[in-house]
Amino acid sequence: MNKEEKTYSILVVEDNLTDTKRIEQLLRELDFDFEIKYAKDFEEASAILSSDDKFFDIVLLDLTLPGITPQNLVNEMVDKVLFCPIIALTSNADVGFSIRSISQGISDYLVKEDLTAATLYKSIVCSIERKKIFFSYDDAKTRYSDLFHLSPLPMWVYDLGTFNFLDVNEAVIKKYGYTKQEFLKMTVKDIWPEEDYPIFDEGVNSFSQYRDSFKKRYLRHKKKNGAIMNVEVQSNIIYFKNQKVKLVMANDITKQMQHITTIEDQNKSLKDIAWTHSHVVRAPLAKMMSIVEFMKESDTVPSEYEDLLSHFFDAGTELDTIIRDIVKKTETINKTE
């Protein structure tokens, strides 16, 4: 077998000196780089684990140590070496308990009577790798949980069949006003205004809710105090506690919608003003300019008023140009909306 580059740090907790020497001999047969520390009972092992600053890669634990029951030994050791896998060393008579102890945190078990270098090596390497995978998965779950619960945007998870809330983050609680306990007794429909129920019913009866694309929707939601807010929601299908559920993220866009409404109202007012200039103001202006032009061409107007009429006519023409510019700018606004 090829020599391993890694040096494994091993703690052997065994009160039988013969078994201890045999374990070391089997490891040496593998040309296996390792460092071993020994403990003959639980108290000694506990002292080593508490005082030693070196991290152990594996613990080989005899289940029949003096002064402690196998059950208590397993419980105590699992608590002390959370990140380190434990391989139980057992006899044929104790195989049943060894198998049950796996559910309590033991990584593997080896029967002393059947122990070989190959089985010992395989158990050590596999136990270490399984532990890495377990904590990698556990760490990933923690990160995703943090992203959910610490998100500044309201997020919740609901059941696709019953529409019951399964989990909500702190942002939802602050934004909507319900406690977490209240949310977990509610359905998603309870945060919709009653007048929007037909929209909700239409959505849940279509296959679109089972699509896992993060498509944006613009809806209205109701807070506990009855206030209605506009929200932009995105949702996706995820697995939560081994079942398919929907994860929803909601963004309150009420202020943005109010801002847009204000701008639209302002634009409407501007259109009304432009229409007034175009139709209401220009009509009498056109009449005034027609009268002035008629008077200029009339022989009955005294000559000393001709210059005054010309200035009046020019001012009217300038005013008409200004009104036309306002109307043109308004038409440009209409085209860009």
Residues 6+ apart with CB under 8 A from 92: 111, 113
Q: How far apart are CA 236 and CA 30, in angstroms?
A: 51
Residue 1 scores a pLDDT above 50: no
Residue ranges of domains in the chain, CATH in brackets? 8-147 (3.40.50.2300), 152-252 (3.30.450.20), 257-336 (1.10.287)
- Secondary structure letter of residue 113 according to DSSP: G
Dist. CA 189–CA 252, nearest whole Å: 17
Alpha-carbon separation of residue 195 from 91, 226, 261, 288 (angstroms) = 71, 13, 21, 55
Question: Which pLDDT score, from 0 to 100, does residue 232 have?
Answer: 93
Instruction: Dump strand ranges (E) for the chain.
Output: 8-13, 34-39, 58-62, 86-90, 108-111, 155-159, 165-168, 216-222, 228-240, 243-252
When the pLDDT of each residue in the chain is averaged and rounded to a whole number, the result is: 81
CA 48 to chain centre: 42
Of 65 and 129, the one with more pLDDT = 65
Determine the Cα–Cα distance for residues 170 and 147; give it in Å rounded to an integer.
11
**For residue range 154-202, what is the model confidence (pLDDT) as tens digits?**
999 999 889 999 999 999 999 999 999 999 999 999 999 999 999 898 8
> Would you state the pLDDT for residue 315?
80
Summarize pLDDT for 28-51 with one digit per residue, the tens.
Answer: 887 778 888 999 999 999 888 887
The residue among 14 and 54 whose pLDDT is bigger is 14
**How far separated are the first and last CA of the chain, in Å rounded?**
75
Residue range 199-207: mean pLDDT, rounded: 75
- Tell me 164's DSSP state: B
Residue 158: strand pairing partners = 165, 246
Tell me the pTM: 0.46
**Do residues 325 and 332 make contact, with C-beta atoms less than 8 angstroms apart?**
no
Residue 255 has pLDDT above 80, yes or no: yes
Q: Which residues fall within 8 angstroms of residue 45, CB to CB, at 6 or more apart?
A: 11, 13, 39, 59, 61, 77
pLDDT of res. 175 = 96
Rounded to whole angstroms, the Cα distance separating 237 from 156 reads 12
